[in-house]
Structure 1
Amino acid sequence: MTEEHRRLEEARRRSAHWRRWGPYLSERQWGTVREDYSPGGTAWEYFPHDHARSRAYRWGEDGLAGISDNHQRLCFAPALWNGRDPILKERLFGLTGHQGNHGEDVKEYYFYLDSTPTHSYMRYLYKYPQRAYPYTELLEENARRDRRQPEYELLDTGVFADDRYFDVVVEYAKAGVDDLLVRIAVTNRGPEAAGLHVLPTLWFRNTWTWEPGTARPRLRAVSSRVGLSVVEAEHETLGRRWLVCDGAADLLFTENETNARRLWGVAGPTAYAKDAF
């Protein structure tokens, strides 16, 4: 019996919760019926990609190569910035059914490379351009084309010319049911040096806004031995968890709250909103 067979048997008997943590984090929560409260059922327009970085979700979260617990209370995913994009790369971008000349279509290159049945090991690859991501160009060119023409893809924009992109590989390995090791490896495929900011991000799904009286979870920096940076996550039902970072990292905090000022021009619940970075 292999170690994975042993984990599967323990999961079947419910003697060990090996599937508590897994790739349950959607790569796109925006523009879905899960978040649609429009009177006419116009999910694509009600919660567009442009709102996703600033507006708190209700029923789920999203991220690149992310994980969460099986009730999606606590989430983890890396965010990326090449120094040229107007926003962080935190989730997949694509066209809605009304924007694409062939309907709904993601405009990214990402690959699920490996995952065991208990998610004791997972590996994911994302290809991130070093040039500015052509959000507007993809929208405008696909809008000009009709259904008889081919789709205008990310590769067609020339953003990957001369192999100027990064391979971002994210790996997860479980040392125990609740002990996960994370490795984020970046390879520059371009002909010269280029900068990339990698922001491993830990956050709670916002449940307190929608359910009055819900205990509010919290994240805080805690002291640790030299050479480590630690964030403590405390949740009413999940208990305490810790994100331990190798090295003296700068820890940045904000709230998973909607930036109402940016979206609708009115005051929101806090100045420290979801899109603070």
Structure 2
Amino acid sequence: MSKAEQNRVNQQYAGQKAWLKWGPYLTERQWGTVREDYSPGGNAWDYTTHDTARSKVFRWGEEGIAGISDDQQVLCVGLALWNGKDAILKERLFGLNNGEGNHGEDVKELYYYLDNTPMHTYMQMLYKYPHSAFPYARLVEENAKRSRQEPEFELMDTGIFDEDKYFDVFISYAKNDVDDLLINYTIFNRSNEDAGLHILPQLWYRNNWNLNGEIAKPAISSIGQDKLLLHSEKHGKLYCYTDGKPEFLFTDNETNNERLYQSANASDFVKDGINDY
């Protein structure tokens, strides 16, 4: 550990500076677990599925790829990707729930944790995203055919990474101060063929305002071509600055009742609005 990082550790545990306020606390897979089971019969594994997760507001946590949040998971940061071929954005890790895998619950993705310091002042993860459409259905179908005595059917077994037709997506975080973070995305096309990739960094607040009705709804708004203002009762005002002049897309973290339950939505701006856009 460097001397500077040791100083930050000392400051954290002496109560001088909250270096651990932000960290890799965002769940990678909140769907398909007992954490988001509100079913009357205790059907924990099937109540929130990968297919419904993009449209359903979570109660107890959030999820994202290589994401971070504050220690109360009020404000979340994650990365979404789209290769132009998938039917949905790649916003969360895909896998099998407890009843689908021949060896139980299992994530079917390719990703690696590369670095992290004790105070999360530097973090890096690598996610591998195929050029071709992600084989969601095939992973479910092939594993369903196998017994417990057979090996699992993994993402590599689908052949989707053959001929190196994939992107290496490096996600890096660095802290300059407790509330001053740099986020950097570096993408390599490992194929000798050109391929397009949409990069969609995401900022959102966990929906606590609907749970108890006492918390004012936070807001994220554009205040310039490369600047966002984030405001909540918990954190007050925060600012996000971007490189270049990206297109900002906005929607609310609200359940899409029309898609899931065939009933009216409380707002036109629902959780999966950017996915559909």
TM-score, normalization: structure 2?
A: 0.97
Separation (CA, whole Å) in 2 of partners of 1:122 and 1:45:
33
Alignment of 1:73-112 (within 5 A): 73-112=74-113
- Superposed CA offset, 1:84-125 (max 9, x none): 000000111000111011111110011111000000000000
What is the aligned partner in structure 2 of residue 252 from structure 1?
A: 249
Aligned to 1:23: 24
Q: Which amino acid aligns with 1:217?
A: P
In the aligned structure 2, how far is the partner of 1:21 from the partner of 1:55? 25
In the alignment, which residue of structure 1 is the partner of 2:235? 238
Which amino acid is 2:17 matched to? A
The match for 2:122 is 121
Report the Cα distance in structure 2 between the residues aligned to 1:16 and 1:177, rounded to whole angstroms: 7
| Equivalent in the alignment of 2:272 | 275
Q: Secondary structure at the match of 1:185?
A: strand
| Cα displacement (A) at 1:39 | 2.1
Distance 1:250 1:200 in 2: 11
CA contact (8 A) 2:205 2:218 kept: yes
Q: What pairs with 1:126-165 in structure 2 (closer than 5 Å)?
A: 126-165=127-166
After the TM superposition, which parts of structure 1 deviate over 4 Å for at least 4 consecutive aligned residues? none
Matched residue, 1:216 = 217
CA shift at 1:213, angstroms?
2.8
Equivalent residue letter for 1:260:
N
How far apart are residue 29 of structure 1 and its match?
Answer: 0.5
Letter in 2 for 1:178: D
SS at match of 1:137: helix
Paired residues of 2:54 and 2:271 also in contact (CA < 8 A):
yes
Count, aligned residues: 273
Cα distance in 2 for partners of 1:85, 1:14 equals: 47
AA matched with 1:96:
N
SS, match of residue 258 in structure 1: coil
Partner SS state of residue 124, structure 2: strand
> Shift of residue 268 of structure 1?
1.3
Residue type of the partner of 2:129? Y
Q: CA deviation at 1:42?
A: 1.4
Aligned pairs for 1:26-37 (under 5 A) are 26-37=27-38
| Aligned-partner SS, 2:242 | strand
After TM superposition, give the deviation of residue 143 of structure 1 in Å. 0.9
Flag structure 2 segments of 5+ consecutive residues without an equivalent: none
The one-letter code sitting in structure 2 at the alignment partner of 1:258 is: T
Shift of 1:206: 0.4
Q: Give the residue type in structure 2 aligned to 1:144.
A: K
Task: Quote the offset at 1:246 in angstroms.
Answer: 1.1
Give the 5 Å matches for 1:65-80. Answer: 65-80=66-81
1:4 maps onto 2:5 in alignment: yes
What amino acid is the match of 1:75? Answer: C
Task: Give the % identical residues.
Answer: 53
Query: Is contact 2:215–2:233 with CA below 8 Å preserved after alignment?
Result: no
Deviations 1:142-195 (A, max 9, x none): 111111221111111111111100000000000111100010000001121100
- Tell me the SS of whatever aligns to 1:65: strand
Name the SS for the 2:209 alignment partner. Answer: coil
- Determine the C-alpha separation between the residues in 2 that align with 1:162 and 1:265: 43
Task: Extract unaligned runs of 5+ from structure 1.
Answer: none
